[in-house]
Amino acid sequence: MSEWIYFFDLWGTAVFALTGALAAGHHRMDPFGVLVLAGVTAVGGGSIRDALLGTTPVFWLQDPTYILIVLATVIATIIFNRTSPNAPWYVLPIADALGLALFTIIGTEKALSLGLSSISAVIMGVLTGVGGGIIRDVLCRQVPMVLRTEIYATASIVGGIAYCICLSTALDHFTSMCIAMLSAFGIRLAAIKWHLSLPAFDLKR
């Protein structure tokens, strides 16, 4: 992978670790609990992806940078929580949307590079993007947010499909990635701004 993808991957890791650390704070966990929640949110989706693909040892075991990023994020979160003024409310969702878009494309690309079909690759992309958040919510004993609320996974699905379509045309990898990432990112931002949701599936009584 080229260097800038790697950089964005680490960025996504830090953002997802932050959302996990904040969730741990809401449940008054001890520092180890904060670390675990930050860690599973950041690398949980990619770990399941690698275990299902068989690309083991999973990515963060081969490159400890990811773990160091999680560690640094947790320490920074605990320190800044007490000392800094609150960031504007929209900083976290926007950073999270960027992480979602990046992780989706990275997961999709990894599956495609192993020669899997497009449909499998899109699922691996979504798993990479939303898997960590699902484990985080399960450990906090909540029905995973992503299964119920605003368009989130849908943005990931669209991004993965867009990437596969772009690749099947004459577009090169770089352009395809940018288009796919922007579509996932844009859809998620629009969902945040206008509170877009898909209609819930309601059983006939």
Instruction: Please give the residue ranges that form the binding site for a second copy (CB under 8 A).
Output: 21-22, 24-34, 36-37, 47, 50-54, 56-58, 60-62, 64, 67-68, 78, 81-82, 111, 114, 116-117, 119-120, 123-124, 134, 138-144, 146-149, 152-154, 157, 197-204
Residue 163 Cβ vs a second copy, minimum distance, rounded to whole Å: 17
User: Which lies closer to a second copy via its Cβ, residue 170 or residue 203?
Assistant: 203
Question: CA 183, CA 189: separation in Å to the nearest integer?
Answer: 10
Which letter, b or e, does each residue of 129-155 get, where b requires 16 or more Cβ atoms within 10 Å of its Cβ?
bbbbbbbbbebbeeebebeeebbbbbb
User: Which lies closer to a second copy via its Cβ, residue 14 or residue 178?
Assistant: 14
- Cis peptide, bond prior to residue 57, ω within 30 of zero: yes
Question: CA 47, CA 43: separation in Å to the nearest integer?
Answer: 6
Residue 154 Cβ vs a second copy, minimum distance, rounded to whole Å: 6
Q: By three-state DSSP, how is residue 196 classified?
A: coil
Rounded (10°) angle between helices 65-83 and 3-26: 50
User: Which lies closer to a second copy via its Cβ, residue 27 or residue 195?
Assistant: 27
User: Which lies closer to a second copy via its Cβ, residue 89 or residue 204?
Assistant: 204
Question: CA 44, CA 54: separation in Å to the nearest integer?
Answer: 15
Tokens linked to 178: 């940018």
Residue 11 Cβ vs a second copy, minimum distance, rounded to whole Å: 20
Cα-flanking dihedrals φ and ψ of residue 86, to 5°?
A: -65, 140
Contact indicator for 180, 162 with CB cutoff of 8 Å: yes
Residue 101 Cβ vs a second copy, minimum distance, rounded to whole Å: 16
User: Which lies closer to a second copy via its Cβ, residue 102 or residue 157?
Assistant: 157
Residue 172 Cβ vs a second copy, minimum distance, rounded to whole Å: 26
Contact indicator for 20, 39 with CB cutoff of 8 Å: yes
Residue 94 Cβ vs a second copy, minimum distance, rounded to whole Å: 20
Tokens linked to 124: 């691996």
User: Which lies closer to a second copy via its Cβ, residue 5 or residue 55?
Assistant: 55
